[in-house]
């Protein structure tokens, strides 16, 4: 039992337990739905899923190997060039913004959103966590902000999606502008929200001038983690597509990993399985949602905090619907 209290059928132990329950909760003692701790059934489900995947990987090792190669290709040609410089820059900008403009909630939220707009997935979440560690805002505001400030970069939308996949940078520019307008609108209620005095329960890190060597080291470690996540989800998508190449399966599988998913949708468009408007709507929805892979990257970013992912998925769903609607209704 926690605190070393043994369960005994005596009044003394009951009183001890009652006194223990009145103590403030730590992060690990929060309810499962708040702290992200799985219920007792989750390990069994995870074990079963792992065994199934292990068997599948043994049956089709060539497909898995090709998925790894494809994932590494995405990392080398798209992810690392577009993200690593911004990982370093965000590490420099966040402390500097705090020094220049203070640690107010509004300034920190706006700064995190702007960094997310410029830097791309999942740098906005990194900026939110950095500000949260400085007690710039409370836990609920930070949990909501990670879903809003996580955004696709202009380099990704205009260069990769617009030019490389569809040969039209205008498509990327439009989607980038839609994303800015919608995410800014979602952030307004947080800017107007009154912040409680007590904020983060995690140790506060003082705002100091950035150490470039430390920032580069942290950026490299985070980049490696992001690449590993992309490779794993690329393998999963390759396994699914090995068993079925039907259009619904391809579209559903595209929502697992953003870069490969957008490529799959563009291939369906170029092969005339999808119209231009349908491909545009699906691509917009995928960018808004971000994919399961980006969600796992954000989860890794907040892993050592007490922040929750429940708001992240709600806001990403709203962004997916909003961007898809904008792509459908605005020429």
**Residue 30 belongs to some domain of the structure:** no
**Residue 206 belongs to some domain of the structure:** yes
pLDDT in tens, the chain (331 residues): 444 334 444 444 434 444 434 344 333 344 444 444 334 445 777 788 788 888 888 889 899 999 899 889 888 887 788 778 877 877 777 667 656 655 677 888 888 888 888 878 888 888 898 888 877 788 899 999 999 999 998 888 888 888 888 888 888 999 999 999 999 999 999 888 876 654 445 554 554 556 788 888 888 887 888 788 888 888 888 888 888 888 898 898 889 888 888 988 999 999 989 998 999 999 999 999 998 989 988 998 898 899 999 999 999 999 999 999 999 987 6
- Cα separation, 259 vs 290, in Å, equals 9
Interhelix angle 123-133/139-149, nearest 10 degrees:
160
**Residue 48 belongs to some domain of the structure:** no
Instruction: Kindly list the distances between the CA atom of residue 142 and the CA atoms of 146, 208, 323, in Å, as whole numbers in the listed order.
Output: 6, 21, 23
> Exposure pattern of 47-56 as b/e (b: 16+ CB <10 Å)?
eeeeeeeeeb
3-state helix, strand, coil in the chain (%, to 5): 75, 0, 25
- Cα separation, 256 vs 152, in Å, equals 16
Quick check: pTM over 0.85?
A: no
pLDDT at position 210 is 65
**Residue 118 belongs to some domain of the structure:** yes
Exposed/middle/buried for residue 293 (C-beta within 10 Å: 0-12, 13-18, 19+): buried
pLDDT at position 325 is 95
**Residue 235 belongs to some domain of the structure:** yes
**Residue 185 belongs to some domain of the structure:** yes
Q: How many structural domains comprise the chain?
A: 1
Q: For the CA atoms of the chain, what is the radius of gyration?
A: 22
Query: Is the peptide bond preceding residue 197 cis, with omega within 30 degrees of 0?
Result: no
Query: Is 165:262 a contact under the CB 8 Å cutoff?
Result: yes
Give the H or E element holding residue 129: helix 123-133
- Cα separation, 301 vs 218, in Å, equals 12
Exposed/middle/buried for residue 245 (C-beta within 10 Å: 0-12, 13-18, 19+): exposed
**Residue 136 belongs to some domain of the structure:** yes
Q: Which domain holds residue 322?
A: 61-329
Exposure of 18 in the CB half-sphere (CA atoms within 13 A): 6
**Residue 253 belongs to some domain of the structure:** yes
- Cα separation, 111 vs 248, in Å, equals 39
């Amino acid at each position: 039992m926690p605190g070393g209290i043994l369960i005994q059928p005596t009044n003394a132990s009951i009183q001890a337990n009652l006194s223990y329950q009145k103590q403030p909760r730590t992060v690990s003692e929060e309810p499962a739905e708040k702290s992200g701790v799985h219920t007792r059934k989750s390990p069994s489900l995870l074990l079963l899923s792992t065994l199934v995947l292990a068997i599948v990987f043994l049956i089709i090792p060539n497909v898995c190997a090709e998925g790894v190669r494809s994932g590494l290709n995405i990392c080398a040609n798209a992810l690392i060039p577009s993200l690593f410089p911004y990982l370093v820059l965000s590490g420099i900008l966040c402390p500097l913004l705090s020094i220049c403009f203070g640690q107010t909630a509004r300034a920190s939220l706006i700064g995190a959103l702007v960094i997310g707009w410029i830097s791309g997935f999942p740098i906005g979440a990194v900026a939110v966590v950095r500000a949260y560690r400085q007690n710039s805002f409370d836990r609920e505001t930070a949990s909501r902000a990670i879903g809003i400030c996580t955004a696709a970069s202009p380099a990704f939308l205009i260069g990769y999606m617009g030019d490389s996949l569809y040969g039209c940078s205008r498509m990327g520019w439009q989607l980038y502008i839609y994303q800015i307008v919608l995410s800014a609108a979602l952030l307004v209620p947080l800017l107007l929200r009154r912040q409680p005095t007590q904020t983060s329960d995690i140790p506060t890190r003082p705002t100091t001038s950035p150490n470039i060597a430390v920032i580069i080291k942290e950026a490299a470690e985070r980049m490696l983690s992001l690449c590993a996540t992309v490779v794993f989800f690329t393998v999963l998508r390759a396994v699914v597509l090995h068993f079925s190449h039907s259009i619904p399966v391809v579209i559903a599988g595209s929502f697992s990993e953003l870069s490969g998913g957008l490529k799959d949708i563009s291939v369906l468009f170029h092969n005339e399985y999808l119209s231009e408007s349908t491909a545009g709507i699906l691509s917009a929805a995928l960018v808004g949602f971000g994919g399961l892979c980006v969600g796992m990257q954000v989860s890794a970013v907040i892993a050592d905090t007490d922040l929750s992912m429940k708001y992240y998925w709600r806001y990403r769903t709203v962004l997916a619907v909003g961007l898809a609607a904008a792509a459908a209704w605005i020429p």
